[in-house]
Structure 1
Amino acid sequence: MRYLTEFHDPELARRLLDDIAATATRRWTLMEVCGGQTHSIIRHGLDQLLAEQVEFIHGPGCPVCVTPLEMIDRALAIAARPEVILCSFGDMLRVPGSASDLFTVRAHGGDVRVVYSPLDAVGLAEANPDRQVVFFAVGFETTAPAAAMAAVTARRRRLANFSMLVSHVLVPPAMRAVLGAPDNRVAAFLAAGHVCTVMGTAQYEPLVAAHQVPIVVTGFEPLDLLDGVRQAIGQLETGRAELVNAYPRAVRAEGNPAALAMLREVFTVCDRAWRGIGVIPSSGWRLAPDWADLDAQTRFDVAGLTVAESAHCHSGAVLQGRLRPPDCPAFGTRCTPRHPLGATMVSAEGACAAYYQYRRLTPAL
């Protein structure tokens, strides 16, 4: 606990806030990439403490939120089959598809189970040889190595009844899409530290070079984020654009070599649709050809299932930083955590959920 509380020290936070205030000569627009960072910023009121120096734009950094609607519906179709046990992380169960969610499928008799690791799903496949076990593989680069390990383990154990519905997405292409938008206002990024523990930091260097935008890799505690803001503003005020690792206790430039090797073996990069945003080139992973026999989309013939996004949910604008959650006309009325219209309200890392949970309910003036 001592190690964690050091990153909540109010005296150190005040020093960082004073340093930022003394450095900033104008109000800068920063985007934090990860939904976990968003929740920390809102929970601890960093956006309010830095209101004169920083406008935070909340980026598309919640993997549950950006999982495309059609992928949710594919999971629902698979989960409804009587021979299937569908395994998922818990935050996916209440994410709405076009007409339902996984909780509803389970209430109607579908065998939907929450797991804490993809390897739990492999264990279920081994224990239930007469059932088809499907793991719904969702997440950024952070959770993808565990999904790859599940595929490797299932093959080693010769489990013909295990497959995966893969919807992994990659952070740098999403950042590139934000920077390439004609209405982009992002002056600097706070990059997600947990992604970089896996992937390293080299993937961000081309973005810095091409767009001359500072990128600071940060953690998730209040002091992590304040230090990231301090370093980003220091660069902006002096006209520099550099990649900085402000999370060295967890991130190395080379990332995790063992995890990277497994990812290269099991997955291949593909274009991926992001919910509320659209298709971003080379922004996802799918199973590599040598692992295609584990593809649940093919096994259950759901790959062709497509649906249209709801016109009533503005989560796409929220995910792109074009709309603050309270400015959405449905926020807190037709859309609440109990009755969400979109994933940004129900996900544990969604921006709308953060604003609702911490009572930031007032639209911008």
Structure 2
Amino acid sequence: MKIIIPMAGRGSRLRPHTLTVPKPLIPIGGKPIVQRLAEDITKLSDEKVEEIAFIIGDFGAEVEAQLLGIAEKLGAKGTIYHQEEPLGTAHAIWMAEQSLSGPVVVAFADTLFRANFHLDMNSDGVVWVKKVEDPSAFGVVKLDAYGVIEDFVEKPKEFVSDLAIIGIYFFKDGQNLREEIKYIMDNEIQGNGGEYQLTDALENMRAKGKKFTLGPVDEWMDCGNKAATVDTNGKILGFEKEEFANVPKSAQISNSLIIPPCFIGENVVIENSKIGPYVSLGNGTKVVNSNIDNCLIQEKCVIDHGNLTGSMIGNHAQYFGVSRNISLGDYSVLDFKNKD
């Protein structure tokens, strides 16, 4: 089986954190989003994963090496494809045309999940969905009276269904998907915004007799903006408590209280502080005289006199200050102690 992960988007809703780091590489509980996604699919699947293909923008050689390393750790071949223009979800998948054969999972790298990941080999594909309050922002599936998918609709303006597609799909034969995407692109069948949408390819496949079943989702965790990403970080810490049970020996903790679950990275320094619950502190971060809960703080930061909750702080950032809910990007400095 192959996993195809489109991740070329700019992540504009998560700025300033995505100005220097691609959104799928933002850490959740100490691991990049895309790594957790690939691990979850590999762990939950009955099939051996032979290849993981990443569809990226111009992210640079260092990021490409990191992605190939993720695949290698999972015992799979890593492949890199590039999407130079954002022309839609179907177009993104088309960039991995050479990998679209045999059993394929397509998973967009802006979401994490908890689901029954059974791959139904008696159908042509599986679409994982979650009921939402406002389906107008999502692709949705419409069911007939027997619970069978009878329509795929991209961002419906009028109510069609509240079963939102979470961005994870299984195809028993990726070649069928490849042929359908090629068809809609050759015939310039474009959806919202003039883009080539995966839902159009799925609807054409269904109309030609392909059978798709639903994959139920227990938890769908979005990483689209700062608040959602901080919330997802907390949920992952709660779900994977055993993973975060131990503080690394390299951490230096004095006169401080850590309330689990928390992720504490290597060489973290914590002095005169209360940390947790639901806090991630990246490698090399220093926290002194602070009270922090429900926060995502990345690598090599300095937090002094912080009283923070619901905050997200980027790499190499420095915060000296007062009580505040903040979103501080990489290499930023916010100093309320020195007002000169």
> Is the structural similarity TM-score above 0.5?
no
**TM-score where L is the length of structure 2:** 0.30
TM-score (norm 1): 0.29
Higher strand share: 2
